[in-house]
Amino acid sequence: MNVLVVDVGGTHVKVLATGQTEPRKFESGPTLTPARMVSGVKKLTRDWKYDAVSIGYPGPVLHDRPVTEPHNLGRGWVGFKFRSAFGRPVQIVNDAAMQALGSYKGGKMLFLGLGTGLGTALIVDGVVEPMELGHLPYKKGTYETYVGAQGLEHWGKKKWRNHVADVVGCMIAALQPDDVVLGGGNVKKLKELPPNCRAGNNANAFLGGFRLWDNNSDGKKIGAKRTNISQ
């Protein structure tokens, strides 16, 4: 099966299909509605062949449907008919969960995405659970307030790095993972990684999108939440 993976971000929409080696992208931003996203993806991939679509969405997803509107994009995502728009089977997951799927090597893995916000996902023995830990209270705001892009701009790199180290330490202490992956575009702004962490790669989001359509050993398809994946 040829799969088209669509990674929807706050600044760009990035796409890659089975058999292709170079991702393509176009700008997103606050005017990007789902209809414009689909139109842009179709235009960008008109010379690619694909049978199914995986979408990484910057917000909570339940049963292949966004449940809240994204903070940094246009409106209309909740209730949009993605399958009809693409004319293909579609699976939608939280973008952090999709990158976590692509980063997973086994055991209990915590994924933290340092980007516009703070994406979080936990995979335990091949079962992925998207999470929204970034919105939990922390100091005078939330975790996302301090380690997202807003926190980086407000605090500056030095203090932001200290907040990242503290937040990562708090989450490791609470969740006790075997493996911690720090992904997202702002990982490169860290001088060094916190202890017991490894750096992710945004390209892993594409691998995660491809994995969504893999069969597990029991023959079941990967779903959007609490999903078994083969290593």
Least confident of 82-91, 127-136, 164-173: 127-136
Percent of the chain whose pLDDT exceeds 90: 79
Percent of the chain whose pLDDT exceeds 70: 93
Express each pLDDT in 158-176 by its tens digit.
999 999 999 999 999 999 9
How far apart are alpha carbons 178 and 20 in whole angstroms?
Answer: 33
Express each pLDDT in 106-126 by its tens digit.
999 999 999 888 989 999 988
How far apart are alpha carbons 191 and 152 in whole angstroms?
Answer: 14
| Single pTM value for the model | 0.85
Extract the tokens encoding 114: 């340092």
**Contact, 128 vs 110, CB < 8 A?**
no
Domains of the chain: 3-97 (3.30.420.40), 106-200 (3.30.420.40)
**Contact, 59 vs 116, CB < 8 A?**
no
Express each pLDDT in 198-212 by its tens digit.
999 888 999 999 999
